[in-house]
């Protein structure tokens, strides 16, 4: 069996449903304006990280030759100049934790440079070599006592050795000591933190029962929010962040959260780390790629400069994404670029053929991913088999991807409306795969072959001539409080056959919480935005008892038409809408109910840095109430 980490279910009996309430009641009134931006913005991920990670190619069988060989190939092929700068060591680097002083010891036989100085083996010579090559260096650890490979490996992998205590190489109980070692002593610039150690070592697990490992009551259950101790998980990451700040006074570091969409991390990960995994591990299968893609694609409002959605590393180079499947490989890369996902190559670059290197090196697609505006693409057309994604770029252009998920060709109509451009003026398209140029007015028919993704840069005249709709710039909108009280599995995520389990068990059920989160141009439950029969093609859908933070970059006015969405089940629940600027009240509405016409909400916001959009439900409701910020826009 091929080793994969972060992948098998665990039964955790450690928390109750009340734990979710504890995470949302940290402040007396979470809807009160703060006048500040609360999403993660420390560290060095103002743009999505790009680079290489050892796991997909080598699993735990990593060594210095493989790592430096891939780094050298990134230099020699010109990929480094295109932005690939992180070289990340994943699981498999450690030998043991010394019990006398609890220091981690490197598997130095695999990393000869670690012997360069006196004393214990050190990664400092390796990180200095990578720095001299122009790279950042990343390392791997786990929230628990033990790592994912220790939980799930069935073969002779490079696992920690020694006694039970010596094989406890994770951060649990040693977080500050290990972060100091990684960053202050060894010179790393990034850390990926897995979560198998707080998931897979329950007292009744086989490897604990047979004496291999000590029990650690699970804090997360990937399949159940109610069996996950969310406050405890967030506390562990808070300790890591405190140590990262202490040992990186220049703020130049990157924290990757890898708890695979569990514990509702897709809601709060944006506040805790530079990148946050939204799903279980990817594998080199088309269906699995769809699962990981779906876990992030409708989460545009949860990604911002400094904190990005992470549907896992690129698996281009194997299986359905090898050199014999260039259509699929191009789609994989294009979708990750459009979603502002980290572009972390997972192949053995020493042997990667040129056609795949050309995909990694597509400068036009890299530019979309690295665009300074930081807007993740939003879904402009949605169906099971075909989607259109659109993102607004810093220079005002739009990027558009037409994605055929299925096995039959699609004759797709791309319209000016999809791009929020005027239908009576020409739209110029530049094909980012072929370089071809074309124009259309109103709409154009495009043939999209099975599993193909067409990607264009588009220029046209905007529908909104004096500003931007909020849904066009999700990178400046943060759902600080999204109104979700009872997290539900998201039914829109494609359920694939996991490559590591096949058809054993009962199959993959909806598992990733996130249904009901804030959406661009749709309600939280993925319906059209409609208030009293009036449909809004642009806007933000969110649940009542929510607070959106909006960064204002030079705009003078805010305008919107607000109301309770027609999709609300509770027609009697009143909702009031408030607009704040830098913590001060700017505008509000009377109580509005379902069926009431959309109410205008406008204010002068010149000089205001942070706007806050609050929808407050009066009284107590048992039903989540979707509300619509219709045509919400910042205008000059």
φ/ψ (deg, to 5) at 592? -120, 145
Decide if 353 contacts 326 (C-beta within 8 A): no
**Chain segment 420-462, per-residue pLDDT in tens:** 999 999 999 999 999 999 999 999 999 999 999 999 999 999 9
The pLDDT assigned to 401 comes to 99
From CA 307, how far away is CA 303, in angstroms rounded?
6
The answer, yes or no, to whether residue 155 has pLDDT greater than 90, is no
Place of tokens 């909104």: 464
The pLDDT assigned to 502 comes to 83
- Which three-class secondary structure string do you get for 60-114? CCCCHHHHHHHHHHHHHCCCHHHCCCEEECCCCCEEEECCCCCCEEECHHHCHHH
The pLDDT assigned to 507 comes to 87
Q: What is the DSSP letter of 198?
A: G
From CA 227, how far away is CA 232, in angstroms rounded?
12
**Chain segment 194-249, per-residue pLDDT in tens:** 999 999 999 999 999 999 999 999 999 988 888 999 999 999 999 999 999 999 99
The answer, yes or no, to whether residue 14 has pLDDT greater than 70, is no
The pLDDT assigned to 409 comes to 98
Radius of gyration for the alpha carbons in the chain, expressed in angstroms and rounded: 24
Q: Tell me which of 507 and 147 has the higher pLDDT.
A: 147
The answer, yes or no, to whether residue 508 has pLDDT greater than 80, is yes
């Amino acid at each position: 069996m091929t080793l994969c980490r972060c992948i098998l279910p665990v039964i955790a009996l450690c928390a109750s449903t009340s734990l979710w309430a504890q995470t949302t009641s940290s402040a007396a009134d979470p809807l009160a304006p703060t006048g500040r931006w609360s999403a993660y913005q420390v560290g060095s991920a103002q743009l999505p990280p790009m680079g290489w990670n050892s796991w997909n190619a080598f699993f735990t069988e990593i060594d210095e030759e493989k790592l430096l060989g891939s780094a050298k190939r990134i230099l020699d092929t010109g990929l480094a100049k295109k932005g690939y700068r992180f070289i990340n060591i994943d699981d498999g680097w450690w030998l043991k934790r010394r019990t006398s002083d609890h220091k981690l010891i490197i598997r130095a036989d695999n990393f000869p440079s670690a012997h360069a100085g006196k004393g214990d083996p050190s990664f400092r010579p390796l990180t200095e070599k990578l720095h001299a090559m122009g790279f950042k260096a990343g390392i791997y650890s786990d929230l628990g006592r033990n790592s994912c490979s220790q939980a799930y490996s069935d073969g002779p992998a490079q696992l920690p050795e020694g006694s039970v205590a010596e094989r406890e190489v994770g951060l649990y109980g040693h977080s500050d000591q290990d972060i100091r070692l990684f960053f202050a002593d060894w010179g790393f610039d990034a850390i990926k933190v897995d979560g198998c150690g707080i998931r897979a070592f329950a007292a009744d697990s086989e490897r604990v029962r047979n004496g291999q490992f000590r029990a650690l009551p699970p804090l997360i259950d990937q399949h159940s929010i109610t069996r996950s101790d969310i406050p405890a998980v967030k506390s562990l990451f808070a300790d890591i962040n405190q140590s990262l700040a202490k040992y990186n006074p220049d703020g130049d570091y990157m924290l990757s959260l890898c708890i695979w969409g569990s514990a509702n991390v897709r809601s709060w990960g944006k506040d805790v780390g530079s990148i946050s995994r939204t799903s279980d591990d990817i594998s080199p299968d088309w269906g699995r790629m769809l699962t990981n893609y779906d876990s992030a694609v409708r989460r545009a409002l949860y990604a911002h400069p400094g904190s990005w959605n992470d549907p896992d590393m690129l698996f281009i180079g194997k299986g359905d994404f090898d050199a014999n499947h260039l259509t699929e490989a191009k789609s994989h890369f294009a979708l990750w670029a459009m979603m502002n996902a980290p572009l972390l190559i997972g192949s053995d670059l020493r042997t990667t053929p040129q056609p795949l290197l050309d995909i990694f090196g597509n400068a036009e697609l890299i530019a979309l991913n690295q665009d300074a505006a930081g807007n993740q693409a939003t879904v402009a057309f949605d169906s099971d088999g075909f989607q259109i994604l659109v993102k607004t770029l810093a220079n005002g252009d739009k990027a558009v991807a037409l994605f055929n998920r299925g096995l039959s060709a699609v004759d797709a109509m791309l319209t000016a409306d999809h791009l929020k451009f005027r239908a009576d003026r020409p739209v110029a398209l530049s094909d980012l795969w072929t370089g071809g140029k074309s124009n259309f007015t109103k709409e154009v028919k495009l043939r999209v072959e099975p599993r193909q993704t067409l990607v264009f840069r588009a220029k046209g005249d905007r529908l909104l001539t004096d500003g931007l709709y909020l849904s066009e710039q999700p990178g400046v909108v943060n759902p600080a409080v999204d109104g979700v009280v009872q997290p539900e599995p998201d039914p829109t995520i494609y359920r694939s056959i996991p490559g590591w389990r096949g058809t054993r068990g009962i199959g993959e059920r909806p598992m990733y919480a996130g249904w009901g989160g804030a959406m661009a141009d749709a309600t939280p439950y993925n319906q059209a935005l409609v208030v009293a029969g009036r449909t809004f093609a642009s806007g933000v859908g969110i649940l009542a008892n929510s607070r959106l933070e909006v960064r204002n970059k030079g705009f003078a006015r805010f305008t919107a038409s607000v109301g309770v969405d027609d999709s609300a089940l509770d027609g009697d629940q009143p909702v009031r809408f408030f607009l704040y600027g830098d913590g001060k009240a700017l505008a509000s509405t009377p109580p509005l109910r379902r069926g009431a016409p959309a109410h205008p909400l406008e204010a002068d916001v010149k000089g205001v840095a942070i706007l806050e959009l609050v929808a407050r439900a009066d009284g107590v409701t048992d039903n989540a109430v979707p509300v619509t910020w219709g045509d919400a826009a910042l205008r000059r």
